[in-house]
Amino acid sequence: MDDDRRTVRQRVTERATGRERHVVVHTLGWELAEIRRSVWRAVTVPGSERNTAVQSLKAAGAALLAWAVAGWWWEAPMALLAPWTALFLMHHTVYRSLLSALQQFVVVLVGTLLAAGAGALTHNEMAAMALALPITVLLGNYARFGSNGLYAPTAALFVLVYGSYTGADILHRLLETLLGAVIGIGVNALILPPVHVRRVTQLREELPRSCGELLHQVADGLRADHGQEQARRWYESAQRLTDVVTDLREARRWADESYRINPARRLRRIPPEPPAAWDFVWDQVTEHIMRTTRALTEAAPRPPLPADARDALAELLRAAGDVCLLDDHLQEDGRRDEDRTRECRRALAGASAAHRRLTTACAHGQRVLTPATGGVLADTRRLLSALVRIADPDAVFEAQGARQSRTEQPVGR
């Protein structure tokens, strides 16, 4: 009996070991496949993989150049600081490299001076560390320095461990740090300086397309008598649209920062971009789409909308989706596409007519509107108001100007 139990335990252990080995092999294979795909994309297609590879090679080249100048040609006593500084200043924008260099130089200066003062005061390595490290670590956590704050205690450790904190040694450290900063910034600014516009262009094209496709899906589902589970999936997709708006804002910040102090800005052909108000309009559109799908989710367990109201809502959302898909991006010369603008206006007119039919059908179909039905009416009305800024922005501006002129007219006698 004991032999049988040991045999069973041994088989169970072997099976568990085999499963773990299979999981490890599968994970390693997946990682290797991802690495191969990333390398292939970096070589063949412009994108984030290629940008990462270029910045990595530039960082390595800047570090080698800094070491050649400080260690091989200058034979500096602390030549390590030059390539170390150049390596960590290779950021994704020239402006960020310059800002990081200033922060790092100030932090290294303060950390070096504090460590030198503690060493001269105590004449003991352990006592000097106990005195300097708490102050430099607190300084490193100062928010203004960001991630560069950690160089303060690192610089203090370099000074105290090597035990060299005379005036000449301190001057050498600062000069080597400054040399590495100059080389790092120079390499980043003069050799393929990064300009981040591709991500903005991708998200700018993805957002209208995703909104239009989701609205078409909801319209088709309404005609097919959707259920609560399908409505919940619509709501989750709408939530992801708001994440795309957030990504677009972040990408625009990176693009704007990459233009600063960039000598290659005028040498590159940058595609035209819609104004900043474009992001705000699509923020409203995605918010109202999310609210509309949430109202449909709340209405799903209750008695459905009347058939004519459901058809009107489906027609409204399909027309709204057409407006999103027809969002006219700027052409090569920066002008608007007039044909696409006219199509957007026709689609918006159809959506407005469908909303009127939806309101009439809801009012005739039930004496008292439920909160969910009222939410659908209100949210789709807000969605159409936001789409007006996409389909007919000139009309919006003209209406605003007319209202302003009426308020400025004197009161008649």
State the CATH number of the domain containing residue 228. Answer: 1.20.58
More confident residue, 2 or 210: 210
Residues 385, 275 within the same domain: yes
Residue 92: strand, helix, or coil: coil
Determine, yes or no, domain membership for 181.
Answer: yes
Residues 260, 210 within the same domain: yes
Task: State how many domains the chain has.
Answer: 2
Domain range enclosing 131: 50-190
Name which of 235, 355, 376 is nearest 302 in CA terms. Answer: 376
From the CB of residue 100, how many other CB atoms can be counted at a distance below 10 Å? 23
Q: What is the pTM of this model?
A: 0.74
Cα–Cα dist 101/248, whole Å: 28
Residues 264, 393 within the same domain: yes
Last residue of a domain, one of 145, 165, 190: 190
Task: Count Cα atoms within 13 angstroms, Cβ side, for 65.
Answer: 18
pLDDT in tens, 357-408: 988 887 775 544 566 677 888 899 999 999 988 876 554 434 344 444 444 3
Most confidently modeled range among 136-145, 238-247, 250-259, 353-362: 238-247
Cα–Cα dist 213/205, whole Å: 13
Residues 323, 276 within the same domain: yes
Q: 100-105 — which CB contacts under 8 Å span 24+ positions?
A: 100/146, 100/148, 101/181, 101/184, 101/185, 103/144, 103/145, 103/146, 103/148, 103/149, 104/148, 104/151, 104/177, 104/181, 105/174, 105/177, 105/178, 105/181
pLDDT in tens, 23-82: 666 677 777 777 777 677 766 667 677 788 888 899 999 999 999 999 888 888 778 889
Residues 167, 228 within the same domain: no
- H or E, element range at 386: helix 371-391
Last residue of a domain, one of 135, 164, 190: 190
CB 212 within 8 A of CB 324: yes
Cα–Cα dist 351/330, whole Å: 24
pLDDT at 413: 32
* Residue-wise DSSP of 209-231: HHHHHHHHHHHHHHHTT--HHHH
Taking the alpha carbons of 56, 61, 64, 69 in that order, is the dihedral positive or negative? negative
Residues 298, 387 within the same domain: yes
Residues 160, 220 within the same domain: no
Q: What number is the average pLDDT over the span 345-351?
A: 90
Residues 186, 203 within the same domain: no
Residues 99, 182 within the same domain: yes
Residues 250, 383 within the same domain: yes
Largest alpha-carbon pair distance within the chain?
Answer: 112
Cβ-based neighbours of 373, under 8 Å, separated by 6 or more: 299, 305, 362, 366
